[in-house]
């Protein structure tokens, strides 16, 4: 029998998600740039910061993020969730978000989208039109390069969120719901990625003396 190619056993390859150190580096970079922008009355870096934070706190796909409207967000409906109406296979789903991130998102809208109506998109370009996938992809790639993280793109941030979420509660069904996966088989890869229990087991091998003294 021939062997299948392109399948990884044991979780995601290291290039497909960020380590904790890389996450901290990325967040520190976008925050520093946004802080400068806040003092110079510029918006681009502040929008870039929210883009990154949305990916890291929701695991949305890039095209889902582009199509978010204010009516999908807590600022309009009052619940700590994001409604994803443009999901894969046209399936609508609800993504839970933390209280802290909900407040951060609300402040962003209050300051930078305060004139927007519920039917308006959250992210718009300089012409006031819906932000496109190509623009989001290039933004994230550029941010990654400047933060010293090679090959960063939106799906890496999605993988990072889903891996982190699984490692917090080991609740594969919840991860599946948040991700919008049709099959639990698709979600199972996050149960095999960067898991603390796996690290504990392999590190325990250091205490096993394989050689006779």
Active site residues: 61, 88, 155, 158, 181, 190
Q: What is the C-alpha to C-alpha distance for residues 14 and 2, in angstroms, rounded to an integer?
A: 26
Looking up tokens 């919840």 gives: 174
According to DSSP H, which parts of 67-126 are helical?
Answer: 74-77, 99-112
Q: Produce one character per residue of 1-19: b if its CB has 16 or more CB atoms within 10 Å, e if not.
A: eeeeeeeeeebbeeebbbe
Element (H, E) at 62: helix 62-66
């Amino acid at each position: 029998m021939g062997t299948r190619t392109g399948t990884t056993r044991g979780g995601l390859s290291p290039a497909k998600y960020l380590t904790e150190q890389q996450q901290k580096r990325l967040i520190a970079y976008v925050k520093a740039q946004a802080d400068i922008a806040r003092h110079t009355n510029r918006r681009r870096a502040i929008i870039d910061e929210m883009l990154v934070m949305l990916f890291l706190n929701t695991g949305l796909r890039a095209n889902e993020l582009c199509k978010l409207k204010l009516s999908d967000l807590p600022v309009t409906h009052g619940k700590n969730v994001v409604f994803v109406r443009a999901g894969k296979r046209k399936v609508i789903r609800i993504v839970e978000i933390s209280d802290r991130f909900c407040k951060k998102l609300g402040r962003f809208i209050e300051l930078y989208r305060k004139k927007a109506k519920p039917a308006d998109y959250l992210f718009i370009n300089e012409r006031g039109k819906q932000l496109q996938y190509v623009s989001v992809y290039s933004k994230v790639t550029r941010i990654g390069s400047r933060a010293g993280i090679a090959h960063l793109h939106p799906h890496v941030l999605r993988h990072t969120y889903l891996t982190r979420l699984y490692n917090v509660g080991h609740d594969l069904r919840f991860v599946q719901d948040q991700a919008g996966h049709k099959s639990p088989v698709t979600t199972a890869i996050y149960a095999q990625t960067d898991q603390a229990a796996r690290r504990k087991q392999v590190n325990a091998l250091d205490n096993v003396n394989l050689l006779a003294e």
